Amino acid sequence: MSSSDSPRSAGFQAREVADYERKRYRGLDQRLVNARENRILRRLLSICAEGESADLSETVVTGRGTEGSRSEPSRALDAPCGYGRFAWLLGESGYTVFAADLSVAMVKRARAHGAASTYPIGIVANLTLGLPFQPGAFSLVFSMRFFHHLHESPARRAALAEFARASREWLIVSYYQSNPLHLLQRALRRKILRKKTRIKMISGREFREETALSGLEIVRVVPLFRGLHAQHIALLRKTEV
């Protein structure tokens, strides 16, 4: 599986990554998409922060019968990270970022996008084969522009379940929900501009069923541009935390 924001798969070079980053969100429509995504994500990340603050205010009983506060570090897995478009946002939200991607060049570029105090840790991994992390290793698993590349329901469920395994509580994922206008727009692009990339759109019902089967509940789903664009961004929470 190629990166969420990558032009090809694992084999491209650093100069190609830099060229793709420079061009990908240069057009007016894509700048609007990028700005809207960031606004939505800030809102969802604030909900995560409020939930973690509430959890940290509680006390827990340890195995020895003493009380203490929950103090697990806030780590976020950005998978696939692409060239690190959201690394700064995650770092600004207080997370230590682990940037994971199939592409070595993408991981290296993503690391350069972190804030100085939250320099992303880079991991090269094929997300379709599983994650090289212990259960509950992350406060948040963050996955933008990945699920619409998974065309079969079992593959999406497997990815959601693996992300849920790696998360202690929160997930933020994007998916494309069936939208006739967006389908027509993409068909025209393929015909006129010879675009070859095909994405998978699913119904809201399918997304709800797949998340439930993966041990997740939907906290909030926000459309990118309601009625105009198929992308939706979902905040999910493990049903057992």
Residue 124 has a pLDDT of 92
CA distance 51 to 45: 10
What are the structural domains of the chain? 14-59+73-238 (3.40.50.150)
Parts of the chain with a pLDDT under 50: 1-8, 59-70
The secondary element (H helix, E strand) that includes residue 156 is helix 153-166
CA distance 30 to 37: 10
Question: What distance lies between CA 223 and its chain's CA centroid?
Answer: 15
CA distance 115 to 201: 34
Residue 182 has a pLDDT of 77
Label each residue of 48-111 as H, E or C.
HHHHHHHHHCCEEECCCCCEEECCCCCEEEECCCCCCCCHHHHHHCCCEEEEEECCHHHHHHHH
Query: What sign for the dihedral angle of Cα 153, 200, 82, 34?
Result: negative
Q: What are phi and psi of 130, to 5 degrees?
A: 110, 170
Q: Which amino acid is at 214?
A: S
The pTM score is 0.84
pLDDT in tens, 152-203: 999 999 999 999 999 999 999 999 999 888 777 767 666 676 666 678 999 9
Count the alpha carbons within 13 Å of 116 in the hemisphere toward its beta carbon: 0
- The answer to whether the beta carbons of residues 25 and 213 sit under 8 Å apart is no
CA distance 76 to 200: 26
5: nearest Cα among 106, 140, 155: 106
Residue 59 has a pLDDT of 40
Altogether, the residues listed in the chain come to a count of 241
Q: Which amino acid is at 30?
A: Q
Residue 24 has a pLDDT of 85
Residue 115 has a pLDDT of 65
CA distance 210 to 163: 13
